[in-house]
Structures are given as C-alpha cells and as structure tokens.
Structure 1
Amino acid sequence: MARGSHMAQRYGGQQGGFAEAIRAFAEQAEQALDATFREIVIEIGSSVIRMSPVGNPELWAANVAHRAKANRAADDYDFKVAVRNTLINLNQDNFTKAGNLRKGVKYAKPLTKTEREQNFATNGLVAGKGYVGGRFRGNWQFSIDSPATEELDRIDPSGSEAITALITRVQALTIGQTAYIVNNLPYAIPLEYGHSTQAPAGMVRVTLANFQRIVDEATRNNSV
C-alpha cells in the first residue's frame, strides 16, 4: 500500500482521474467480454439451429421404396412401348412404298413426365401426406442458469423464429452466467447421432468442432 499512497502524494489530486480511467477501462473490458460471450452463444445457437434437419417425407424409407417401385412400373411401360415400336419398324408390311406408315398403323407413345406422375404416381407419398417439417428446428431453446425443460409447439422450417428468440433472450446474458441451448424433443439424440441423412454428422458435434473459430471471431469483433 505504501507505494499507492506515495503516488497519491506525489501526483497531488490526479489519482482521482487515474482511478476513473481504470474504472472506465474495466467497465469497457467487461462490456466487451459480455458482448463477446453473447456473440459466441448466438453463433453456437444459430449454427445448431441452421444445421438441424427439417423432416422431408420424400426421404422417408417407405416413400423412397414406393417411388422406386412406381418408377420401375413406368419404365416397364416405356420399355413395352419401345418394343412395340421396334416390331412395327421391323415389319415391312407396315410401310408404304414411299416409306410412310400405312393408315391405321400407329406408334405407341412413351409416357410424358406428367403421365408418369399422374398415372404411375412416381412422385407419390405413401407416408407423410400433409406433413410439415420444422418442429425439431423450432424446438431449440435458449435459457440462462437452468436449462429449459419443456417442448415447444413451434413449427419453424427456416429456423428464423428460433434464431430470433435466441438473439432476443441472449441480450440479458452476462459473463459468469451459464447459457443453455437445449432441444427437448425425444428424437433429438437419434438425430444428433446420424439418424437423418441430411445431418449425418449431427449438429452439436459439428458446432463444437468449430468452437475455437467461433470464439476467435467473436473475440476479434469485440476487442477493447
């Protein structure tokens, strides 16, 4: 302490200004830390939300199998058309001397894209008609000091509602608090561990792999 009091005597009334400057710097540093912490949490939360798969019935096994079968049936039809037309071509009696098809002889037509879809249901769904994806993406929740325990009814295919809620709530976050980003849907764990072809490496693990880069960027953006 002797040194401090010596400085105070030596510089007369100036220690007030010096203490003020230190306090201002400490406040600024703390604000920068809070801002950095918030930015890290927003980036981590947004990353997890953005990477979350949105249910797509077209990828469901039952529908993939159904469409494969429907396409095979349509392909079989087109194959028969091709065989029939080849047989017409091989029979000279079907043509005039000038080489045109005789009256009453017609080529069979292959299916149009529309006929494939309408007559053979090549894009049909046997499961998930009327299903809207986005419940999992919308169920990421941010909270401070204790994790959220409820499921949400939010259907959020783009993730924008979940990200907006995250950004709004994070503004109350300060250094020293614990930030939680949780998804309480029962299928969150299977999805994280590769249950979805859209996110085979999960969301949390990919975000954690980028953690240091996220921290470095946030620190650069908020340096005092």
Structure 2
Amino acid sequence: MSKYSGLNGSFAENIRQFAEQAKAGLDATFREIVIEIGSSVIRMSPVGNPDIWAANVAHRQANTAAADAYDAHVEVRNVIKSLTPSNFTKAGKLKRSVKYAKPLTKTERDQNFNVNGLVAGKDYVGGRFRGNWQFSIGSPVDGVIDQIDPAGNVTLAKLKLQVEQLSIGETAYLVNNLPYAVPLEYGHSKQAPGGMVRITLARFQQIVDEATRNNQV
C-alpha cells in the first residue's frame, strides 16, 4: 500500500473550516452591532419624571417663595424685638416673656408649605417608553407591551437573549410602537433633545468598525 493512500492533497476541508469560522464571525459581528444599536437607543430613551414637569416646577417655586417670605417675616420680627429696649432686662438680657420667632425647619417647609409637592403625576411611574422597545427578526412587531422598565435592564436583557437567534443575512427590527415615540425622537423631551435613533445612526459606522475588530476571524 502506498504511503500516500488516503491523502488527496485537497484544501476542501481547510476551506470548509474557514467558511464556518467566517460565518460564525459574521454572525457574531452582526449580533454585536444589533445589540449595541439597541443598547444605545434604550439607554437614551427618556423616562418620565414628574419632578421636572412644568406644572410641578411652578407649584414648588410658588410654595418655596411663600416659605421664604414667611422666614423673611420672622427675621424682620426678630430684628424689631432686638431693637426694642423694653424687651431686655437692665443687664441686657432678653426677658423671659419675650421669645424670638424661629425660621421654618426643613420638615415644616415640606409639611406646611409643600415645597417639594406635586400637583400632577403623583402616582406616575416612568419607564413605559424605555420598556417598549421590541426586537424581532424578519418583520417588525405590532402593538405595545405592558412593561415598565425605568432602568432599561429588563428590556436590554431581553434584547440580548433574542439576538442570539439572529444570523447574518436576516433582517432585524427594533421598534417602539407607543404613540409618543416619534415626538420623543424629535425633541419632545428635554432628556433626549437630539432623539435616540438619530444619535445612534450617527455612530453607526463606529459601531460597525468596533464590532468587526472584536470578531475578526
């Protein structure tokens, strides 16, 4: 038997292995790109915060002004008392029957003047928009989901899990079907004046380059 039997001198197996590695590398690159795009959009999504709503800001400003006015009045009364000779003993000490008024404590400002109060959104919990980013393969998802995710961690974890099923050549979708998604993208919220999708798109080539470097075959 020839010592060369069973050897065909073909690169077929090497090429097959390289093709598999290349395919795996492309899949990993594609998935990393999609995850980074999704992460960027989710992270930048505004979360409703009643504290910064105009009605509540105006309410707190008015109440704070009232509390400040009260303290200013207290200070004036105390100055008048300190300048009234009959309020002092011959030794120059304040008579026991005379008491200086006290300015408001932090608790009194909160309880009596409601300086940190809300007139709108008292039971509101933000995070519905951030929690409504939905990933799909092949066709976009319809409808909205009942998910409140202020930090975005649940939405991001779900995205990463779903992207594991994604392969190069497939079409990936990330949509938010809430009716105020488009207004938020175009500056309706001061938290994201430049939107989320547009800013992420501006970084697209950077995202692709980094993912490509991370998954070179």
Q: TM-score, normalising length from structure 1?
A: 0.91
Task: Kindly provide the amino acid, as one letter, of the partner of residue 102 in structure 1.
Answer: K
Correspondence for 1:203: 196
Q: 1:13 Cα shift?
A: 6.9
Task: Kindly provide the amino acid, as one letter, of the partner of residue 91 in structure 2.
Answer: A
Alignment partner of 2:214 out of 212, 217, 221: 221
Which range is displaced more, 94-103 or 167-176?
94-103
Long gaps (5+) in structure 1: 1-10
SS of residue in 1 equivalent to 2:11: helix
Q: 1:12 Cα shift?
A: 9.6
Task: Kindly provide the amino acid, as one letter, of the partner of residue 166 in structure 1.
Answer: L
Correspondence for 1:74: 67
Alignment partner of 2:118 out of 106, 115, 125: 125
Call closer, same or farther: CA 1:187–1:15 in 2, change over 3 Å.
Answer: farther
SS of residue in 2 equivalent to 1:135: coil
Task: Kindly provide the amino acid, as one letter, of the partner of residue 138 in structure 1.
Answer: G
Tell me whether 1:97 sits opposite 2:84 in the alignment: no
The runs of at least 4 aligned residues of structure 1 exceeding 6 Å deviation read none
CA distance in 2, matches of 1:23, 1:12: 22
Correspondence for 1:169: 162
CA distance in 2, matches of 1:171, 1:179: 12
Q: 1:200 Cα shift?
A: 1.6
Tell me whether 1:53 sits opposite 2:46 in the alignment: yes
State the Cα deviation string for residues 69-94 of structure 1 (Å, max 9, x = none): 11111111111111111111122221
SS of residue in 1 equivalent to 2:129: helix
Correspondence for 2:30: 37
CA distance in 2, matches of 1:15, 1:62: 81
State the Cα deviation string for residues 162-203 of structure 1 (Å, max 9, x = none): 111111111111111111111000011111111112222211
- Matched residues, number: 214
CA RMSD of aligned residues (A): 1.6
Long gaps (5+) in structure 2: none
Percent sequence identity over matched residues? 70
Task: Kindly provide the amino acid, as one letter, of the partner of residue 132 in structure 1.
Answer: V
Correspondence for 1:138: 131
Call closer, same or farther: CA 1:53–1:15 in 2, change over 3 Å.
Answer: farther
Compare the two structures and name the one with the higher helix fraction. Answer: 1
Please show how residues 173-184 of structure 1 align to structure 2 within 5 Å: 173-184=166-177
Task: Kindly provide the amino acid, as one letter, of the partner of residue 80 in structure 2.
Answer: L
CA distance in 1, matches of 2:20, 2:191: 45
Q: 1:27 Cα shift?
A: 1.1
Q: 1:96 Cα shift?
A: 2.0
